[in-house]
Amino acid sequence: MLKVISSHVFLRNRLHPGLLETIHKAGADGVELFAARQHFDYTDRAAIRDLAEWFRSNPTEAFSMHMPLYVDHEMGRWGEPGVNLIHPEKSRRIDAMDEIKRALEVAEQIPFRFIVIHLGEREDTWSPRALENSITALEHLRAFANPLGVKLLVENITNEVTRPANILEILNAGHFTDIGVCLDVGHANLGEGVKTTLDELKDRIHSSHLHDNHGDRDAHLWPGDGTIRWDEVYDGLKTAPQIPAGVLEIHYALEETPDTVMKKAQKAFESYS
């Protein structure tokens, strides 16, 4: 599997070439850019140029981008609404698509393969309207992303809309043969279970978010620090048709330093290389 680290682990810091160098030294083949304005400001052309120059000069690739979850610099802490592609209000849906398109424009300077998409937020439930809005959002974003060389991946988050069966219904109903899945292992552990989720989505998985928890909350711990059976995870991913990338998506609240990220990532990569 391709070894990737999400910049989410450094979310409290502005992403700069020095942090990318840490990821490279950890042995990562690629980086998932976490699109949050206080961390990776996808609207700052000068900052993007600096990062683009680093990627051009180094073998570690910009593998993927995680879509913005908020438009502010505080991750919604002061009441700013989230970026919700399937919100009941049409204006909110349009705003969400516009924000994701702003992030996708980064691919003009920093080419990346995939963008990871959330359909809804934690409280969103499954309904015919959720299906319709999901299909509309994916159609719109796919049309914008494809000319940039970027493919969409739907992530299983902790809501009804992205339960495995519902993701497959969305992709099949929309005839989205070129849209895949990013399997979030930690979220699966909080839902239907990792093995069940992996088996159901296996044929569509192109990437995976690897993080652990104890089955009670979305803690984004390092693999092995929770209750997930990682031998089953790695064996299952390696038998998926696409052989998905393994993206370490570790929580910034763990207060890791560049040195600890390097050491812990190297240990994690040894488990699935």
- Residue 74 maps to which CATH number? 3.20.20.150
Rounded to an integer, what distance in angstroms lies between the CA atom of residue 145 and that of residue 10?
26
pLDDT for residue 87? 97
Q: Say which range, 35-44, 135-144, 234-243, has the weakest mean pLDDT.
A: 234-243
pLDDT for residue 191? 95
pLDDT for residue 76? 60
Question: Is it the case that residue 209 has pLDDT exceeding 80?
Answer: yes
Rounded to an integer, what distance in angstroms lies between the CA atom of residue 242 and that of residue 186?
20
Question: Is it the case that residue 226 has pLDDT exceeding 70?
Answer: yes
Question: Is it the case that residue 198 has pLDDT exceeding 70?
Answer: yes
The predicted model gives 254-259 an average pLDDT of 95
Domains held by the chain: number = 1
Host domain of residue 95 = 3-272
Question: Is it the case that residue 72 has pLDDT exceeding 90?
Answer: no
pLDDT for residue 74? 76
Rounded to an integer, what distance in angstroms lies between the CA atom of residue 73 and that of residue 258?
22
Q: Which residue has the tokens 């976490």?
A: 34
Burial class (CB in 10 A: 0-12, 13-18, 19+), 89: exposed
The CA-based angle 247-249-250, given to 5 degrees, is 140
pLDDT for residue 100? 98
Per residue in 139-157, pLDDT (tens digit) is 999 999 999 999 999 999 9
pLDDT for residue 108? 98
Question: Is it the case that residue 73 has pLDDT exceeding 80?
Answer: no
Q: Say which range, 115-119, 222-226, 235-239, has the weakest mean pLDDT.
A: 235-239
Beta strands (DSSP E) in 27-167 are 30-34, 61-66, 114-117, 151-155
pLDDT for residue 40? 97
The predicted model gives 217-239 an average pLDDT of 96
Contacts for 225-231: CB closer than 8 Å, 24+ residues apart: 226/186, 226/189, 227/189, 228/185, 228/186, 228/189, 228/194, 229/194, 230/271, 230/272
The predicted model gives 107-113 an average pLDDT of 98
Question: Is it the case that residue 10 has pLDDT exceeding 90?
Answer: yes
Rounded to an integer, what distance in angstroms lies between the CA atom of residue 102 and that of residue 68?
10
pLDDT for residue 159? 97
Rounded to an integer, what distance in angstroms lies between the CA atom of residue 220 and that of residue 223?
9
The predicted model gives 235-241 an average pLDDT of 93
Mean residue pLDDT of the chain comes to 96
Question: Is it the case that residue 217 has pLDDT exceeding 90?
Answer: yes
Distance, CA of 88 to chain centre = 24
| pTM given for the model | 0.96
Q: Which of helix, strand or coil describes residue 117?
A: strand
Question: Is it the case that residue 273 has pLDDT exceeding 70?
Answer: no
